[in-house]
A and B are shown apart, each in its own frame.
Chain A
Amino acid sequence: MTATDVQITTRPDGMDTYPGQQPRMGFFTDTSVCIGCKACEVACKEWNGVPEDGLNLTGMSYDNTGSLNASTWRHVAFIEQIGRSSEPGESRWLMSSDVCKHCTEAACLDVCPTGALMRTEFGTVVVQDDICNGCGYCVTACPFGVIARRETDGGAHKCTLCYDRMGDGQTPACALACPTESIQYGPVDELRERAQRRVGELHDQGNDAARLYLDDPTDGIGGGGAFFLLLDEPEVYGLPPDPVVTTRDLPRMWRHVARAGAALAAGALAACLGWEGRNR
C-alpha cells in the first residue's frame, strides 16, 4: 500500500484520520468531584521523572504549585468562595486539576520551527526532547500558558498524556491515581458523551453554574483532547474565557507581511530613483 492509496479524511472533531488509526485519546476532567488531593501532580512527576520545582508557600489557598509549567504537568487550583455561612448554597471551595489541553488546533505545534512538537497517533501533542532546541516559540503561542522552558535543561516540556503508557494500552498516571475519577481517560468522543451526561445531571440537581469547557469541536482551538467540567467561569480558574489558536490569523499575517515587504522594496526603489549623484 503506497502513500497515495491511504485515504485521509477529516473527522467531525477536526482531526485527520486514516483507516486503522487509533481513536483519539484524551482526558475529561470533571472538577465537580475533585477533592484537591494532588495525587495527579505526584503520580505525574513520579512516572515522568519531572523534577520538583520549588518550595514556595504561595498563600493561594492550598495551591502551592502555582501553575502549569515545564516541571509541573498537572496543577490543582483552589478557589475559596466562602459566604456568610458554610452552607452549600453559600459556600464553595472549587478544586480543579489543570493540564495541557492537547488542542485539536495546537498553536505550540504550529509554531514549532524544529518539528520537535508533533501529533501522535493518538491525537495527542508531544514534545520530542531530543529535537527541541529551546527556542521558546511554543511558550509564547500557547493560549493557556501551559508549555514552558525548563531552565535546568533549556528544553520545552509539557504533559505527554503519558504517551509511553498509552502505547502499552495503559492509563496515564494522573488518571490512574485519581481516587474519585475526576480525571477520566479514554477516547475523546466517548468522553464528550459522558461529559454531556454529567453536566446534564448537575443541571438537574440545580447546579446551573456547571458547564463544559473546550469540549466543542467548533470552538477556537477545535476543541481540546483534554477538556473540563467547570463550576464557574474559566477565568476564575485562571483559564482564558475564549481562547483562539493564533494560527487562525496567520494567513492574514503573511498577507500583510508580503504587502509590507513589497512596500519596503518600493520605498527603497523610490528613495533611489533619480539620484542626482550619478550625474556629478
Chain B
Amino acid sequence: MSTPSADSYYGQPVLKEPTWHSPEVPGYLFLGGLAGASSLLAAFAHASGDDELARASKAGAAVAIGLSGAALVKDLGRPARFLNMLRVFKVTSPMSVGSWLIASYGPAAAAAAASAVTGRLPRAGAAATAAAAALGAGVATYTAALICDTAVPAWHDGHREMPYVFAGSAATAAGGLGMLAVGPVAAAPAVRFAVLGAATELTARSMLLRRLGEGAGPYQAGRAGRLMEAGEVLTAAGLSGAMLAARSRTAAALSGMALLAASACTRFGIFEAGRGSARDPAATIGPQRERRRLSEAAAR
C-alpha cells in the first residue's frame, strides 16, 4: 500500500547503517581491548616478577594490536590513505584520538614484546612496557567513546556505561589469555583480573540495558541478542572454570578460551545491536518523540 505509517517514512531507516564491516571492526574492538588490558596486566606482572605472565601478555598484546591495525586499514574505503589519520589531532573525534593512541601504543607494545621474547634490551623493554601500559589503558577504553560518539541509538544512549563494559570485557579477555597461555601459578593474577573484569562488565552491562529501557530491544533481538547471550553464558562458564583453574591446567585453559570467546561475543553483539538500531526507524524516532513531547509539555 502506498500510504505509509506516520511513524516513519515507509518504514525506512532514519540513519545510515555503519559502513564498518564485521569481523573487522567488532574484531578490532575485541582485539584492541585485549591488547590494551594485556599491556596493563603485563606491566604489573612484570613489576611483580611474574615474568611468564608478563611475557605472554606482552606477546599477546603485540599480536592483537598488529591484527587490529591490519583489520582497521582493511576496513577503510580507501586503505592506501590510512596515514591520513595522522593529518590532524581532534579531541572531538574519538577515532582521531584513537589513531594517535594506536600509532604510539603499537610500537611500544611491539618493543615490549620483542624485548620480553628475545630477552634483549631489558631496560628499553621495561620502558616500552610502561608506555604500553599507560597507552593501553586508553586503547582498551577509548573504543567505547568511538562507538558511542555516533547517532546510533543503541550505542549513543549507552554512553555512560559503555566504557565500563569495554574495560571489563578487556580485562576478561586479557585474563583469559593469561589463563590460556601460562601455568596456574603464573596465571593467578590473570584469574583475578578476569574475575574483576567479568564482574565489572556484567554490572555495567545490566545498568546500560536498564537505562535504555525500550531501547534495549536491539541488544535482545536476533543475532545481537544471541551474541550477547552467548557472551554472558561464556563469561559465567569461564568464571566457574576459573575457580578450578588453580588445580587444573586444562580447566584453566578452557576457562581462558571461554573468557576470550565471551569478550569477543560481547563486542560482536554490541556491534550487531548498533547496526540493528540504526536500521530500525523506531529506535531513532521513539526516544526523540518522547523527548520532544516532554519538552513541549514543560514549555506549557
Which A residues lie at the B interface, using CB under 8 A? 58-61, 66-67, 69, 77, 79-82, 107, 110-116, 131-137, 139-150, 153-156, 232-233, 235-243, 246-247, 249-250, 252-254, 256-257, 259-265, 267-273, 275-278, 280
From B4, B41, B185, A277 is in contact (CB under 8 Å) with B185
In Å, the complex CA distance between A260 and B192 comes to 17
Q: How far is the CB of B138 from chain A (nearest CB, A)?
A: 6
Q: Which of B5-54 contact A (CB under 8 A)?
A: 6-10, 12-16, 18-20, 36-37, 40-41, 43-45, 47-50
- What would 11 more interface pairs be, CB under 8 Å, given A81-B3, A133-B85, A153-B77? A67-B12, A79-B9, A110-B90, A142-B15, A142-B16, A250-B145, A260-B141, A260-B144, A260-B166, A261-B138, A264-B170
A116 touches B200 (CB 8 A): no
| Shortest distance between the CB of A239 and any CB in chain B (Å) | 7
A147: chain B residues at CB < 8 Å are: 16
Closest 4 CB pairs of A and B: A134-B77, A154-B77, A238-B9, A133-B81
Closest to B49 in A: A278
Q: Which residue of B lies closest to A243 (CB)?
A: B288
Contact of B142 among A155, A257, A263, A273 (CB under 8 A): A257
B99 on interface, CB distance cutoff 8 Å: yes
Whole-angstrom CA separation of A110 from B9 in the bound complex: 28
Residues on the A chain within 8 Å of B174, using CB: 268
Chain B residues proximal to chain A, CB less than 8 Å: 2-4, 6-10, 12-16, 18-20, 36-37, 40-41, 43-45, 47-50, 75-82, 84-85, 87-88, 90-96, 98-99, 133, 137-138, 140-142, 144-145, 147-152, 156, 159-164, 166-167, 170-171, 174-175, 185-186, 188-190, 192-193, 196-197, 200, 278, 281, 284-285, 288-289, 291-292, 295
Given contacts A80-B3, A140-B152, A275-B188, whether A242 and B289 have CB atoms under 8 Å apart is: yes
> Are A257's CB and B41's CB within 8 A?
no
Contact present for A238 and B156 (CB under 8 Å): no
CA distance A115 to B161 in the complex (A): 29
B82:A133 contact, CB within 8 angstroms: yes
* 10 intermolecular pairs with C-beta atoms under 8 Å apart: A116-B84, A135-B76, A139-B16, A139-B18, A247-B149, A250-B92, A257-B144, A261-B141, A265-B40, A272-B44
Smallest beta-carbon distance B50→chain A, Å: 5
Whether the Cβ atoms of B49 and A275 lie closer than 8 Å is yes
Q: Is the CB of A113 within 8 A of B4?
A: no
Q: In the docked arrangement, what's the CA distance between A235 and B284, Å?
A: 10
Inter-subunit contact B44/A155 (CB<8 Å): no
Roughly how many angstroms separate A135 CA and B94 CA in the complex, as a whole number?
A: 12
A244 to B80, CA, bound (A): 33
B185 CB contacts on chain A under 8 angstroms: 276-277, 280
B214 nearest CB across to chain A (Å):
15
Q: Are A137 and B95 in contact (CB under 8 A)?
A: yes
A279 to chain B, nearest CB (A): 9
**Contact between chains at A114 and B87 (CB < 8 Å):** yes
Cα A81 to Cα B2 in complex, Å, equals: 9
**Chain B residues within 8 Å of A67, by CB:** 12-13
In the complex, chain B residues whose CB is within 8 Å of the CB of A113 = 85, 88, 90, 93, 95-96, 98-99
Q: In the complex, which residue of chain B has the Cβ closest to the Cβ of A268?
A: B40
Tell me, rounded to whole Å, the shortest Cβ–Cβ distance linking A264 to chain B. 4
